[in-house]
Amino acid sequence: MASSKLKDKVVVITGASAGVGRATAHAFAKQGAKVALLARGVEGLEGAKREVECLGGTALIVPTDVADPAQVEAAAEKVETHFGAIDIWINNAMNSVFSPFQKITPEEFKRVTEVTYLGQVYGTMSALKRMLPRNKGSIILVGSALAYRGIPLQSAYCGAKHGIQGFYDSLRCELLHDKSNIKICMVQLPAMDTTQFGWVLSRLPNKPKPMGKIYRPEVAARGIVYAATHDLREIFIGYPTYKAIIGDKIAYWYADMILARTGFKDQQTDEPKSPDRKNNLWEPVHEDRGIYGGFGKLAHKQSYTLWLTMHGISPILLFWLIITIVLVVVIVIILWQLNI
C-alpha cells in the first residue's frame, strides 16, 4: 500500500489502548496518519500514543467510554478541532463476560451490549454526522466470526456482534440507496491474541483463552487498514472465520453439537483463575498491558485468506471453484470406470 494513501489522513480508532485497536493504530502510524486514540484507560492510551509517534504517526489521546453517546460525540468534536476533518473511523471497542448465561446479571449483559454493540452505533452516528455533508469518508465496523455463529459462555458478546451485523446490513443499504460515496465495511475476525482474555469479567474456574486457531493482532490490523482504503462490503480474516460462517450455514446443527461438547473446555486453560483477577467491565484496568494476551506461541502471524483478498482473489469463490473441479474430476472418473 502506498504511503500517500494515508499520509496525514485523520483516523479515529475506538478501543485503541490495547489489542486489535492498538495494533491498528500502529499500522496507520506507519503510513504517516494522524491517529485519534479513543478508550477509557489512560495508561494504555499513553502507551499507544508513544508508539504511534515512534512509528511516524501523529497521535491524540481522547479518553472515551463508547457506551455514552455524549462522550463519543464530544470525542469526534475534539478530533476535528485538533486534526481537522475525520477521514476514517474504526469502531473497534468491545467488552465481554465469560460466563454461562444463567450466571450473568441483567446489568452486566446490558453493559456488554452498550459497549460492544451500541458503541459501534454511536461511533457510526458521529462519523456520519461529519462525513455526510462532505459525501466522503470511510467507516469500519470490527466484527467477528461470532457475528454469525454464537458460542457458549459468551452470550452477551455474541449477541452484540450479531446486532452489529444486522445494523451494518441496514445502514449499507441506506447508503447505497442514497448513492453515497462514503465507504463502509465490516471486518470479521477470528480468535486473536489480545488482552481481553486477561481483563474481561470471567466466572469460569480457569483462565479464559481464545478458542480455535489464534492470530496475532497485526493480522487483523492489516485487514482493517485494507478495508479502510478499499470499497469492499465485508472482509473475513483467517480460515477459521470462513469455516465458522460457511459451516454454520451448511450444517448449523453440527456446529451446535460440537460447541456443546467442546466449547466450555476449549475456552479455558488448565490454570486456575486468580482470585484477585481484575476486570474492565465497569471501569478500566489502570495498567498498560500492551497489545498481546500471552498466547504468542500459539498465534499465527499470517492469514492466507486475507492475502488472497488483498490481492483481488475471493477465497469463497476459490473454494467453490476447487469444489467444482473436484466434483467434475470425480464424475469423470466414475463415468470412465463405468465405460460410459
> Could you give the 3-state DSSP secondary structure of residue 61?
strand
As beta bridge partners, residue 215 has 192, 300
**124 vs 184: CA distance, rounded Å:** 10
Q: Which of 117, 122, 148, 157 is catalytic?
A: 157
For the chain, what is the total number of helices (H) and then of strands (E)? 11, 14
Neighbours of 255 (CB within 10 A): 19
Q: Where are the alpha helices (DSSP H) in 8-99?
A: 19-29, 42-54, 69-82
Backbone angles phi, psi at 38, to 5 degrees: -110, 130
Q: Are 52 and 29 in contact (CB under 8 A)?
A: yes
Is 239 a catalytic site residue? no
DSSP 5: G
Give residue 19's region: left, alpha or beta (phi > 0; psi -120 to 50).
Answer: left
- Number of neighbours of residue 163 by Cβ within 10 angstroms: 17
Active site residues: 157
